[in-house]
Amino acid sequence: MADKKATIKQVAQLAGVSTSTVSRVINGRDPKVARKEVQTRIWDAVRQLDYTPNLDAQNLKKNKNLEQRKQGRQIGIVFARDEEEKINPFFIEIARHFEKKSLQLGYNVKFSVRYEKENPKKIKHIFDTYQVEGMLILGKYSPSLLKMIKESCSFYVYSGLQKIQQNGFDQIICDGYQASVATIQHLNNLGHRKISYLGEIGREARYIGYKDAMKTLGLPCPPSHILSSRFTVEGGYKAILKNIHNLNVTAIFCGNDWVAMGALKALKEHGIRVPEDISLISIDDIEDLQEVTPLLSTVRIPVEDMGKMAAKVLIDRMEGERILPLAIELPYTIINRESCKPIT
C-alpha cells in the first residue's frame, strides 16, 4: 500500500528528478520545465505514492481540515473513445492539466484508464478496485460506459468536442460542430468550393457541422466527398489511399490532427502536393503538428483551460459548493499555417 503521507522529496527520488522540478511540474508554473517523458514519470510517482501537497500551507478556501478533505476524496480519469491505435494526445493534454489542477486543490487522480468496448470487465475491475468519488470522462462515450461510471462514483464531469444531452451532467466543451462550420466558412472564404470531409461519421458533431455548413453555403457535397475514417493516423492514411484516384476536390477538412497527419502522408506518397494541389485543415492543434511539413492549418482547442476548468467544476460539486449542473463552452481559434492556400 502506498504511503499516504509521502513527501515531495520521496516523489522526486522515485521519479529521479529534483524536488524543485517536481514542484514546478505539479504547480504548473512552467509548462516547459521538463520533457514530457520526465513529467510522465513525476505524475506516475505522485499516483504511486498517493502524494498530496500541504493544503494548509497553500491556504485553500475555508481552511478545511487536510485529513477530512483527503478521506475518500479520490478522482479517476476515463478516456472514453475506443481508439484503434493509442490515446489521442489531444485528450492526454486535457488529462494532464486536469491532474495538475486537481492536485493543487488537494485531490489525487488514482487512475487513468482507456475504455475498451471489447473488454468492459477490465474497466469495471479498475472502478471497483479504486472506488473513487469523482471522475473525468474524456471524449464521446458509450451508454454502457456511462452506466458503469454512474454505478461506480457519485460525481462526474465530461470534457470533449461534443455537447452532451444529459440532465445533471457537468460538461466542459469546445463545440466541435461550430468549429467545423467555421472551418468550412474559412475554406470557402479562401475560394474553395469542392471540399471533402475526412473522419468519423456516426454520431459525430464535426461531420454534421461540415454537412450543414456545405448546405448553407450552397456547396456540392456528393457521397464521393465523404471519406469515412477512424480518428487515427492509420485511419486517415488508409482512407486517402482508398480514394486517391477520386479526389476531385481542392481542400480536405480533417476531423482531427491525427487523421490529417495520415492524410498528408498518403498524399505525399502519391505526389499530390499540399497546399499546391490540395489544401488541408484539421481540428485540435496538438504538439505533434510542429514536426509536420508543411505546417498544418488547424483549429486550436484550449486544452489547458478545458482540463483546469473540468477539475475545478468537478471538485466544486464534490465539495458541495453547488447543486445545479454546469455546461461551459470554451472558444476555438482557427490557425492558418502552410497547408492551406487561397484559390487564385
Residues 183 and 296 in one domain: yes
User: Does a structural domain hold residue 115?
Assistant: yes
Cα–chain-centroid distance for residue 15?
A: 25
pLDDT surpassing 90 at residue 167 = no
User: Does a structural domain hold residue 102?
Assistant: yes
For residue 117, give Cα distances in angstroms to 95, 295, 302, 320, 333.
21, 35, 28, 33, 33
User: Does a structural domain hold residue 290?
Assistant: yes
User: Does a structural domain hold residue 111?
Assistant: yes
Residues 105 and 40 in one domain: no
Query: What pLDDT, on the 0 to 100 scale, is given for residue 70?
Result: 47
Residues 81 and 148 in one domain: yes
Residue, of 162 and 210, whose pLDDT is higher: 210
pLDDT band at 4 (very low <50, low <70, confident <90, very high): low
Query: What pLDDT, on the 0 to 100 scale, is given for residue 241?
Result: 97
| Spatial separation of the C-alpha atoms in residues 233 and 253, rounded to whole Å | 15
Q: 317: which 3 cell numbers? A: 460539486
CATH number reported for the structural domain that contains residue 209 in this entry: 3.40.50.2300
Residues 160 and 308 in one domain: yes
Please write the tens of the pLDDT for every residue from 54-96: 654 454 444 444 444 444 578 999 999 866 557 888 999 999 9
Query: What pLDDT, on the 0 to 100 scale, is given for residue 93?
Result: 93
Element (H, E) at 159: strand 155-160
Q: 148: which 3 cell numbers? A: 458503469
Residues 286 and 187 in one domain: yes
Residues 112 and 38 in one domain: no
Number of structural domains found in the chain: 3
Please write the tens of the pLDDT for every residue from 233-290: 999 999 999 999 989 999 999 999 999 999 999 999 999 999 999 999 999 999 888 8
User: Does a structural domain hold residue 186?
Assistant: yes
CATH number reported for the structural domain that contains residue 36 in this entry: 1.10.260.40
Q: 182: which 3 cell numbers? A: 467555421
The pTM (predicted TM-score) of the whole model is: 0.80
Residues 149 and 216 in one domain: no
- The closest alpha carbon to 280, from 246, 248, 243, 255, belongs to 255
Give me the amino acid identity at 249: V
Please write the tens of the pLDDT for every residue from 196-237: 999 999 889 999 999 999 999 999 999 999 999 999 999 999
83 CB neighbour count, 10 Å cutoff? 18
Residues 131 and 216 in one domain: no
Q: By mean pLDDT, which of 22-31, 248-257, 325-334 is the weakest? A: 22-31
The residue-averaged pLDDT of 293-300 equals: 96
Mean pLDDT computed over every residue of the chain: 88
Residue, of 7 and 183, whose pLDDT is higher: 183
User: Does a structural domain hold residue 92?
Assistant: yes
Query: What pLDDT, on the 0 to 100 scale, is given for residue 28?
Result: 63
User: Does a structural domain hold residue 321?
Assistant: yes
Query: What pLDDT, on the 0 to 100 scale, is given for residue 2?
Result: 42
Query: What pLDDT, on the 0 to 100 scale, is given for residue 313?
Result: 96
Query: What pLDDT, on the 0 to 100 scale, is given for residue 236?
Result: 96
Q: By mean pLDDT, which of 38-42, 157-161, 339-343 is the weakest? A: 38-42
DSSP 248-306: --SEEEESSHHHHHHHHHHHHHTT--TTTT-EEEEEE--GGGGGSSSPPEEEE--HHHH
Examine the fold and report which residue of 26, 51, 76 is the final residue of a domain before the chain moves on: 51
| Spatial separation of the C-alpha atoms in residues 247 and 43, rounded to whole Å | 45
Residues 126 and 268 in one domain: no
Query: What pLDDT, on the 0 to 100 scale, is given for residue 197?
Result: 98
For residue 94, give Cα distances in angstroms to 177, 263, 301, 324.
19, 25, 10, 24
Element (H, E) at 308: helix 303-318
User: Does a structural domain hold residue 338?
Assistant: no
Task: Say if CB 53 and CB 106 are below 8 A apart.
Answer: yes
pLDDT band at 29 (very low <50, low <70, confident <90, very high): low
> Domain range for residue 2?
1-51
Query: What pLDDT, on the 0 to 100 scale, is given for residue 60?
Result: 45
Residues 139 and 149 in one domain: yes
Residues 86 and 98 in one domain: yes
Residues 39 and 90 in one domain: no
| Spatial separation of the C-alpha atoms in residues 285 and 2, rounded to whole Å | 37
> In degrees rounded to 5, what are phi and psi of residue 247?
-85, 70
